[in-house]
Amino acid sequence: MPNSIDMFRSIERKISFIRWVIIFMAPLMIPLSDYRENLVIYVVTVMVVGGLYNSLVTYACYNNSNKLVNIVKYTSFFDLLLITLVVYLRGGLRSDTFMLYLLVILGSGAKHGIKGTVSALIQTIIYYSVACYIAELPNVLDWERLIIRIMH
């Protein structure tokens, strides 16, 4: 079992670095975005929440205590929730940040194999659909566009 724990930590260190890059590039969304309504507040919120979360994960990756192993094993679940929050804040179907889901699916596959890939894919479909539906309220959801995005 220690080998698999070391493997999780090794993979998660790489993913954690990618997370830091994404978090620090988030302010670039402000001038590039067409949807500026309350965007500064959203970007700061995502940076703070994402920074705290990634600090905990980074600490767990470099700490040899077995108490934090579950954090390292199941970061894909929390990554999906964080990306779903970003998708919701960016307008649901109008948001192009849905592409970040692909990174989580790949990372989950690297850590957990086929089961991890399928699990992350199913969670992605559910979370993305719910976030888009809620973001579009009270308007009607564009189901065709949602299905096309899910297929990608």
pTM: 0.82
Could you give the angle at which helices 100-136 and 143-151 cross, rounded to 10 degrees?
A: 170
SS3 70: helix
pLDDT of residue 34: 64
In whole angstroms, how far apart are CA 67 and each of 29, 46, 73, 96, 126?
36, 27, 12, 36, 30
Tell me which residue of 50, 65, 67, 66 sits closest to 16, measured CA to CA.
Answer: 50
Range of the domain at 59: 2-151
Tell me the pLDDT of the chain (152 aa) as tens digits: 345 778 888 888 999 999 999 889 888 877 776 666 677 888 888 899 999 999 998 898 888 777 777 777 788 899 999 999 888 888 788 778 888 999 999 989 988 899 999 999 999 999 999 988 888 888 887 888 888 877 77
97 and 51 Cβ atoms separated by less than 8 Å = no
What confidence score (pLDDT) does residue 51 get?
94
Rg (CA), the chain: 16
Q: How many domains is the chain built from?
A: 1
